[in-house]
Structure 1
Amino acid sequence: MKKSWLGSLGVTSLGLGSAPLGGLFTPVSDADAEATIARAWSLGIRFFDTAPLYGFGLAERRLGAFLRQQPRDSYAISTKVGRLLRTPDGAVGEDEHYKGAPRERPVFDFSYDGVMHSMEESLARLGLDHVDVLLVHDPDDHYDDAVAGAFRALQRLRTEGTIKAIGAGMNQSDMLVRFAEAVPVDCFLLAGRYTLLDQGALDALFPVCAAKNIGILLGGIYNSGILANPHTGAKFNYQDADAALVARALALDELCRKHGTELKAAALQFCMAHPAVTVAVMGARNAAEIADNVAMSEMPVPAAFWQELRGRKLVDARAPLPGGA
């Protein structure tokens, strides 16, 4: 598989995102989770992304159970800080997003000490002695705390050599631009904001990342599912998509069919064509899904499709397309 670099850290251009392995929207068995990770490994994927939030520790535990059986220098893993998992008093109902998760629930904490505790607890769940990339997770309403506390802790960990790269993971690009200007970061994980349906990252984030050599780990490429299977009721940004978004996705799907290709292939290859994108992080809940994701990255998409996509102004004119179309 094609390799890319985050500073001195070598990574594969495709990565496995573990939110689905934590039961996002649908419960996943231990056996299916293990089979998914094993299939990703067999297909050459060597970058893995996780977080305490994903299944409230379940994704970290499942990913760690597989990865600690592999040579530690043969892969790279990222996890996140900003949420500590704590068991609340009293009864706990099923979470809206994560099905089959344990009783623990996330509590926001972007303080210096909170990050240090989070790192220790993630390593314990993973069963590893270090991670390669550490990201501040969703600090949307906590910018000041993230800069004064979380990023100060991350810089210390990077200086000590405990981690190799630091950054933030968010579903928006505006605050990532602010972090890029305020903190010496190595990478960002951007979810759902550079896709066939949303190219907002072109305005400011990608230019500042190019200028500062900040890598982009791109998640949410299918916008929570609408670009994998567009239909009424499909998800966009973890919520039910509105009618206008469904109509746009169906139009893109129709154009793909006209040119004899698949929407998932076009969506993935569109994202990977931008030079700012270092790793395309793809979620999967079973072995067939991750195999399909890899196949989509290799499926032929005719130049005529990209030309018509551009000609019909279905994407931002500034977006680079595969093959220079």
Structure 2
Amino acid sequence: MTLAPWNYPLLTAVNSVIPAVLAGNAVLLSHGPRAPLCSFQFEKAFEAAGYPGLVLPFHSDFETVQASMRQDIVDFVSFTGSVPTGRQVYETVGSKTFMDTTLELGGNDAGYVAADCDLKAAIDTMVDGSFFNAGQSCCGIERVFVDASVYDEFVSGARELISEYVLGNPMDSATSMGPMARPDAVAGLASLVADAREKGGKILIGGNATSDVNGLGRFFEPTLITECSSEMDVMQEETFGPILAVQKVDSVEEAIKGINDTHYGLTASIFTKDKSLAERMAGDLEVGTVFMNRADYLDPYLPWQGRKDTGKGLSLSQFGFQAFTNLKNLHFKLKTN
């Protein structure tokens, strides 16, 4: 059974459905209420390819989904979504036969900008990694720890770049950033901004609910918060929106401590020209993927997994394929005399 999210309804489903089918399984596929028709498109695609019945879509409330998980026909559950719902999924499958799961949950991903980095590339990548898909990505950049020697220049460049964003219809080529999908998203983002401001953060740009140029839509301004600290909710919790929080650090060790100071552990991005520094930091970072000079990127050849509350199991690569198989030993004695 694959339970796919709304924010990347095709990509995340493909990462589970295709290896599961290649491993010899049929798949029950369900998308959330904000993308309910995607599952049926998968069914049509497999039927058109000559494989009817391999992907079976269903759309129901979560209680019915939970009941379906308990059925004997279900041997594995792949879920992508929030931490609270992931815990419910894990508890549900644990109530029957010890069935395995892949849980791809939340993130509060961070970047480190070293003194020796290509600063323009770091600014461009951090801003894009934060605001792509209006920040509604589990692996989007939410926190940046910047070496003190380049902090002011980074902040200035990021602010200038963010000021150029145009909010509007995502189907319009002139649009830089679209609206928030969830009805409660704007209020949650405003609360994070208010908490940061109360605890000493400076809102350099954005920070408010807004609409497009026609007065329509559920938008939140692309937001840059500086002088951040670990006490702020924006540094601890998943924002899932267009907020970039920046903290000044004086050492690599301080950056590592800051990046690890969250109950999530999906990815971390290191911007430096020193490969040995990136390798050393990678060994100490409590995340599933460490990038050097890039962010918010999936490579299908590499396993995708998280640490801590980001979940369990993995997808992509040969290891993701193996998750949909069971090992079996054949220990035969051919001669009995």
TM-score by length of 1: 0.30
Structure having the larger proportion of residues in helix: 1
- Provide the TM-score with structure 2 as the length reference: 0.29
